[in-house]
């Protein structure tokens, strides 16, 4: 009798626990529902294209003995980015002449992609290739296919790839990937509002940030600045003040320069020149409804700013970010990495990687999406130069991105804990700003939080 | 064990096999993981078997907050949802106009994606343009930073969760109400029994098993709350920077997927398991005491 009750009780709790294990999945999938249809369409498009391609190749390239091969590619591109990626992939599938079919799988946003890759690394079901930041695979770098031999033997001019990206993709001591969708954070601003307030030029120095911030707050009653990523903002200001950020040993900014940079940041917020995102999700939304003068965020986000909202029509301005004692601008965006152990699939994936990073593809990709080309030759191509000379929001953004390209740095985040550090820094900094902590307190809290992660 | 029971086990075998693979094994595995120091989910390596994960867990103030938040959540959401649902179900069961329409309306939250509901509630609770604050202002109260002030995070979450869980409770209560014999109500009417008395003396006792079921399921589900937090705070566990609405499952998910601390996450899930077991046991007590009393009376 007693045994039975215990059994029943255990059953009930086991049921509870099993529901819990189901939870992990649903957390990720719920947010991707919006893109499922898009993904379904993509796969549909890809398969039809694949059919055509297969038909063509068997007919045309009879001498090629290569077996038809299909590879899956997990990505996190949506909207205009996904459209462009699909077009490029369709073209590749139709024209590669080697029987290769790439199947695009949309995994939602970056964080969805990151968690799904982690889970499939544990289950040993990784896709053939994926988009990834270095900090995604700190725990499973041994599952990455080293690309050194591919690059050495079969790549069109590795030196043509922008240097920072080459360094980033070699941080683990071997070539982990090739750069694909690269962005930088310029300053987006409401030019109409700036003109009205009498600010003729966007801020170019730290002093300008304070001066113009004060003018805009007084004349327009809104803050001038927002930062999409708090941890990236901290890194930008630290580097501009000649301080370092973090490495595998922990925080590196416990210096007078670091303290000064933090003091400057806190001051921007306490005076009301900058604001936190709070409950409003995206600064591009606040821009669209003219509740902020400008913000610093990814150049690929330009497609999300609406300048012709009813009652809120304004001219969009984009400029390189204001610089400090030193010049620094943040570069973001993922690389393409390979997981497949199958040699034929590795070769196929490499063909596709070469295609996506070719100058021609990069020009189309950058014009379509607002990302910056990863190749110098793509930058210098006539087509891209013509595009940059235009006056579309994309062209203005591209000019600003190009303007700060010389100061661009790629953050180093290949060590264990790099992913967690991003989160704790953003959280700690947000709390310190909202609670009005002093610069020294903020510095101490940040350093402690980072070092706790690394140890 | 006689031949008959063997047959029973044969029938149960398929389900038992599934449960062994997908429930019992992961459970044992998670318990094992929770004792492994620096466990790696990727290659299964660990430094040693000890209580390090549990020590880390209880040292972490976020986990302590997750436990108190989760218990607060359960204590408020489950009873509130059951009581309000019972009242609404009772109203819907009486002969009102547009009964079908109202039944559909109350069921809508159950079939709507929790993420979509979250988007709507984020607007309702917005500190500057939210509907709720406009109503408060209309009655002369000050605006509240429902989603920005960390002191109100749990309150917002509870309001949101109660609203969301009403749908399911109302549905099962309605079904149960329709199963109560009309004779009982007719008899009460003959005696001119007041309505509140009919409710407490006929409706509630007749529905005791289903109310108990709603409580058990409500408690188990509420202990595992994650989606509600995720959708209300746009992916974080409270106003940005604060983990003021962190729950145990949120903590486990964060440790596992974002911070790659697999062992600590496993330890967290074992603690959650024990908590659910404890509360399920407690809530079975009244029923058992009553059963014993009744048996004694006979």
One-character DSSP codes across B268-283: HHHHHHHHHHHHHHHH
Cβ-based burial of A133 (10 A; exposed 0-12, middle 13-18, buried ≥19): buried
Tokens coding A353? 């990687």
**In whole angstroms, what is the distance from residue A180 CA to residue A362 CA?**
8
Cross-chain residue pair B240–A278, CB shorter than 8 Å: yes
Of A7, A30, A133, A231, which to mutate for an interface test with B (greatest number of B Cβ within 10 Å)?
A: A30
Write the DSSP assignment of A213-260 as a string of letters: HHHHHHHHSS-SB-BS-HHHHHHHHHHHTT---EETTEE---SHHHHH
Cross-chain residue pair A16–B230, CB shorter than 8 Å: no
Cα–Cα distance list, A450 to A254, A261, A412, B238 (Å): 12, 17, 15, 21
A434 → closest Cβ in B19, B241, B257? B241
Q: Provide the 8-state DSSP code for A274.
A: B
Tokens coding B255? 């440790």
**A141, A419 in Cβ contact below 8 A?**
no
Nearest-Å Rg of the Cα atoms of chain B is 23
B3: CB partners within 8 A, 6+ apart: none
**Res A220: pLDDT:** 94
**A209, A322 in Cβ contact below 8 A?**
yes
Tokens coding A76? 């996190």
CA torsion sign for A257, A259, A261, A263 is: negative
Average pLDDT over residues B57-85: 94
Cβ-based burial of A53 (10 A; exposed 0-12, middle 13-18, buried ≥19): buried
Which residues, numbered 70 to 129 in chain B, qualify as contacts with chain A under a Cβ-Cβ cut-off of 8 Å? 113-115, 122, 126-127
Residues of chain A with C-beta less than 8 angstroms from the C-beta of B243: 427
Cross-chain residue pair B224–A19, CB shorter than 8 Å: yes
Q: Strand order in A316-319's β-sheet? A: A294-296, A187-190, A316-319
Q: Which residue of B has its CA nearest to A26?
A: B227
**In whole angstroms, what is the distance from residue A113 CA to residue A418 CA?**
17
- Does residue B223 sit at the A interface (CB-CB below 8 Å)? yes
Cross-chain residue pair B240–A139, CB shorter than 8 Å: no
Which residues, numbered 167 to 206 in chain B, qualify as contacts with chain A under a Cβ-Cβ cut-off of 8 Å? none
Mean pLDDT, all residues of chain B: 89
**In whole angstroms, what is the distance from residue B283 CA to residue B216 CA?**
8
Give mean pLDDT in consecutive 10-residue pieces for chain A, a chain of 455 residues. 48 44 37 38 42 44 63 94 96 94 94 93 94 93 96 94 93 95 95 95 96 96 94 96 93 96 97 91 88 94 82 91 95 95 95 96 94 94 95 92 90 86 93 94 96 88
Q: Minimal Cα–Cα distance from B147 to chain A, Å?
A: 6
pLDDT, tens digit, 9 for 90 and up, residues B75-132:
999 999 999 999 999 888 887 778 888 888 888 888 888 888 998 999 999 988 899 9
Q: CA B30, B36, B40, B43: dihedral to nearest 10 degrees?
A: -90
Residue A27: closest CA among B250, B73, B219, B165: B250
Cross-chain residue pair A20–B240, CB shorter than 8 Å: no
**In whole angstroms, what is the distance from residue A3 CA to residue A9 CA?**
10
Residues of chain B with C-beta less than 8 angstroms from the C-beta of A20: 224, 249, 269, 272-273
Cβ-based burial of B274 (10 A; exposed 0-12, middle 13-18, buried ≥19): exposed
Cross-chain residue pair B223–A16, CB shorter than 8 Å: yes
H/E segment holding residue A54: helix A33-60
Q: What length does chain B have?
A: 298
Cross-chain residue pair B113–A121, CB shorter than 8 Å: no
Cross-chain residue pair A20–B249, CB shorter than 8 Å: yes
Q: Minimal Cα–Cα distance from A449 to chain B, Å?
A: 12
A13 → closest Cβ in B26, B260, B276? B276
Average pLDDT over residues B8-35: 93
- Residues above pLDDT 70, as percent of chain B: 98
How many helices (H) and strands (E) are present in chain A, helices listed first?
A: 18, 13
Cross-chain residue pair B242–A18, CB shorter than 8 Å: no
Q: Which residue of B has its CA nearest to A229?
A: B240
Q: Which CATH superfamily is domain B61-112+158-292 in?
A: MetI-like (1.10.3720.10)
A17 → closest Cβ in B43, B257, B273? B273
Residues of chain B with C-beta less than 8 angstroms from the C-beta of A114: 257
Q: Minimal Cα–Cα distance from A413 to chain B, Å?
A: 14
Cross-chain residue pair B276–A16, CB shorter than 8 Å: yes
**In whole angstroms, what is the distance from residue A73 CA to residue A78 CA?**
14
Cβ-based burial of A244 (10 A; exposed 0-12, middle 13-18, buried ≥19): middle
Tokens coding A225? 């600045």
Q: CA angle B143-B149-B153, nearest 5°?
A: 105
**A212, A203 in Cβ contact below 8 A?**
yes
pLDDT, tens digit, 9 for 90 and up, residues B232-259:
998 888 888 888 999 999 999 999 988 8
- B110 or B54, greater pLDDT: B54
A431 → closest Cβ in B27, B241, B256? B241
Cross-chain residue pair B253–A17, CB shorter than 8 Å: no
Alpha carbon of residue A279 to chain centroid? 22
Terminal C-alpha separation, chain B: 30
| Full set of structural domains in chain A with CATH | 36-182+334-393 (3.40.190.10), 187-331+403-454 (3.40.190.10)
Cα atoms found within 13 Å of the Cα of residue A63, Cβ hemisphere only: 0
Residues of chain A with C-beta less than 8 angstroms from the C-beta of B122: 279
Phi and psi at B238, nearest 5°, equal 135, -175
Residues of chain A with C-beta less than 8 angstroms from the C-beta of B223: 16
Cross-chain residue pair B114–A30, CB shorter than 8 Å: yes
Q: Minimal Cα–Cα distance from A157 to chain B, Å?
A: 35
């Amino acid at each position: 009798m007693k045994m039975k009750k215990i059994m029943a009780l255990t059953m009930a709790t086991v049921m509870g626990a099993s529901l819990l294990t189901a939870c992990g999945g649903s957390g990720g999938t719920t947010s991707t529902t919006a893109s499922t249809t898009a993904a379904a369409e993509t796969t549909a498009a890809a398969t039809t294209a694949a059919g055509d391609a297969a038909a063509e190749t068997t007919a045309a390239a009879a001498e090629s003995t290569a077996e038809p091969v299909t590879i899956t590619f997990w990505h996190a591109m949506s909207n205009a980015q996904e459209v462009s990626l699909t077009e490029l992939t369709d073209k590749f599938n139709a024209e590669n002449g080697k029987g290769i079919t790439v199947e695009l799988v949309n995994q939602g946003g970056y964080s969805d992609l990151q968690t799904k890759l982690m889970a499939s690394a544990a289950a040993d079901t990784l896709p053939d290739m994926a988009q990834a930041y270095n900090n995604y695979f700190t725990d499973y770098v041994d599952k990455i296919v080293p690309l050194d031999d591919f690059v050495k033997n079969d790549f069109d001019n590795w030196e043509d790839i922008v240097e920072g990206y080459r360094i980033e993709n070699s941080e683990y001591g071997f070539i982990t990937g090739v750069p694909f969708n690269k962005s930088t954070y310029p300053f987006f601003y409401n030019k109409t509002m700036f003109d009205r307030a009498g600010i003729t030029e966007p801020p170019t120095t730290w002093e300008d940030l304070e001066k113009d911030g004060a003018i805009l707050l007084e004349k327009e009653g809104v803050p001038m600045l927002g930062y999409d990523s708090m941890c990236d903002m901290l890194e930008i200001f630290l580097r501009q003040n000649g301080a370092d950020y973090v490495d595998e040993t922990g925080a590196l900014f416990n210096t007078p320069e670091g303290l000064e940079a933090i003091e400057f940041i806190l001051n921007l917020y306490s005076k009301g020149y900058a604001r936190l995102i709070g409950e409003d999700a995206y600064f591009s939304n606040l821009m669209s409804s003219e509740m902020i003068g400008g913000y610093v965020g990814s150049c690929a986000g330009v497609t999300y700013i609406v300048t012709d909202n009813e009652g809120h029509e304004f001219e969009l301005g984009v400029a390189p970010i204001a610089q400090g004692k030193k010049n620094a601008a943040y570069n973001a965006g993922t690389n393409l990495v390979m997981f497949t152990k199958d040699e034929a699939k590795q070769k196929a994936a490499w063909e596709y990687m070469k295609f996506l990073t070719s100058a021609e593809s990069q020009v189309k990709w950058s014009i379509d999406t607002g990302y910056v080309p990863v190749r110098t030759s793509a930058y210098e191509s006539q087509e891209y130069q013509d595009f940059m000379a235009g006056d579309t929001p994309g062209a203005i953004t591209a000019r600003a991105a190009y303007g700060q390209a010389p100061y661009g740095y790629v953050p180093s985040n290949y060590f264990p804990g790099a992913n967690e550090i991003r989160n704790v820094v953003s959280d700690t900094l947000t709390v310190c700003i909202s609670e009005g902590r002093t610069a020294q307190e903020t510095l101490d809290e940040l350093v402690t939080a980072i070092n706790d992660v690394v140890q | 064990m006689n031949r008959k029971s063997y047959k029973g086990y044969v029938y149960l075998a398929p389900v038992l096999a599934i449960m062994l693979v997908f429930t019992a094994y992961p459970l044992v595995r998670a318990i094992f993981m929770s004792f492994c120091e620096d466990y790696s989910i990727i290659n299964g390596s660990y430094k040693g078997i000890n209580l390090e994960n549990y020590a880390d867990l209880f040292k972490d103030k976020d986990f302590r907050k997750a436990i108190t938040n989760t218990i607060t959540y359960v204590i408020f959401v489950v009873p509130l949802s059951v009581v309000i649902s019972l009242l609404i179900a009772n109203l819907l069961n009486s002969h009102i106009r547009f009964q079908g329409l109202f039944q559909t309306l109350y069921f809508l939250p159950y079939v709507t994606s929790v993420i979509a509901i979250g988007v709507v509630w984020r607007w309702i609770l917005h500190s500057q343009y939210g509907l709720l604050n406009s109503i408060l202002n209309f009655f002369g109260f000050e605006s509240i930073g429902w989603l920005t002030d960390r002191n109100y995070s749990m309150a917002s979450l509870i309001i949101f969760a109660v609203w969301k869980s009403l749908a399911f409770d109302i549905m099962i209560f309605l079904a149960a109400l329709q199963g109560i014999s009309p004779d009982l109500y007719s008899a009460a009417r003959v005696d001119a029994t007041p309505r509140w008395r009919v409710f407490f003396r006929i409706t509630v006792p007749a529905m005791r098993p289903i109310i108990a079921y709603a409580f058990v399921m409500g408690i188990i589900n509420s202990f595992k709350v994650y989606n509600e937090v995720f959708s209300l705070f746009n992916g974080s566990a409270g106003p940005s920077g604060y983990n003021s609405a962190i729950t145990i499952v949120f903590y486990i998910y964060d440790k596992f997927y974002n911070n790659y601390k697999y062992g600590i996450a496993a330890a967290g899930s074992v603690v959650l398991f024990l908590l659910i077991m404890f509360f399920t046991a407690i809530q079975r007590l009244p029923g058992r005491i009553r059963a014993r009393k009744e048996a004694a009376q006979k």
